[in-house]
Amino acid sequence: MELAAQTPGLIGARINARGSRRGRLTGAASYPLLAPAPEPRSAVEDIASSARDLEQLWDRDGGSVYKLACALLGDEAAAVRVVTLAMVDLALSTDSDAHEDTLRFLASRVYRHSQDVVADPSGGSNLPPVMVWLGQLAQLQRACLALCVFGGHTHREAADLLDVPPGIVAELLTAGLRELGHLAAGGAATSA
């Protein structure tokens, strides 16, 4: 009788079926609605979930992060090392911002790690032409372009990361894009 007396849509209320009159509920008692306790997950399930999350992250942002590292370093092997270090930083991070905007987080970590890695100049032989052209630009100009184009940063965010005024970053972006256009047309670098 108890189950038949419950009306759909009244969650947590018990109704006395004999006491209803003209749409009013008499004798209705409310009970707190408690969510069921989450089932405990095993460490294996947590690792599998983390691995899937990292795979999805790599599918979404990995190409841009790798291009950023190649643009900064001009060496594929060094780029792989730097991207790996950035991914480890993300996995170990407890910062909520890191998980909200992963591309910018990874881009900033790639830039920081690229400052500590020594690139082999012969390691860029298989890079696409645009990466070779980026390698011909001045280091700060290359970093500005890479952070803004591949890293998803605004020129102000790149300025904060590079510790230069935003106006300088804007000027370097403009000059860098002009220089890349010149190199693409077959000219030689003028500002390296």
CATH at residue 162: 1.20.140
Number of domains the chain is built from:
2
Residue 190 lies in a domain: no
pLDDT score recorded for residue 22: 52
Give the residue from 173, 176, 72 showing the smallest Cα distance to 124.
Answer: 72
Q: Kindly report, residue by residue over 59-73, the tens digit of the pLDDT.
A: 888 888 888 888 888
pLDDT score recorded for residue 10: 47
What is the model's pTM? 0.62
Between 154 and 50, name the one with better pLDDT.
154
Instruction: Tell me how far apart the alpha carbons of residues 134 and 182 are, in angstroms, rounded to a whole number.
Output: 12
pLDDT score recorded for residue 192: 47
Give the residue from 136, 125, 147, 139 showing the smallest Cα distance to 67.
Answer: 147
pLDDT score recorded for residue 158: 92
Contacts of 41 by beta carbon, 8 Å cutoff, 6+ apart: 49
Q: Kindly report, residue by residue over 20-49, the tens digit of the pLDDT.
A: 455 555 555 555 555 555 566 555 455 556
Instruction: Tell me how far apart the alpha carbons of residues 111 and 164 are, in angstroms, rounded to a whole number.
Output: 15
Range 116-145 average pLDDT: 78
Please check whether residues 84 and 23 belong to one and the same domain.
no
pLDDT score recorded for residue 160: 92
Residue 39 lies in a domain: no
Distances (CA, A) of 61 to 50, 157, 188: 16, 18, 32
Residue 168 lies in a domain: yes
164 pLDDT more than 60: yes
Query: What range defines the domain where residue 20 resides?
Result: 1-32
Residue 37 lies in a domain: no
Residue 148 lies in a domain: yes
pLDDT band per the 50, 70, 90 thresholds, residue 137 = confident
Compute the mean pLDDT over every residue in the chain, rounded to the nearest whole number: 75
Number of Cβ within a 10 Å radius of residue 26: 10
Q: Which residues of 52-77 are buried (b: 16+ CB within 10 A; e: fewer)?
A: eeeeebeeebbebbbbbbbbbbbbbe
Residue 112 lies in a domain: yes
113 pLDDT more than 60: yes
pLDDT band per the 50, 70, 90 thresholds, residue 88 = confident
Please check whether residues 141 and 71 belong to one and the same domain.
yes
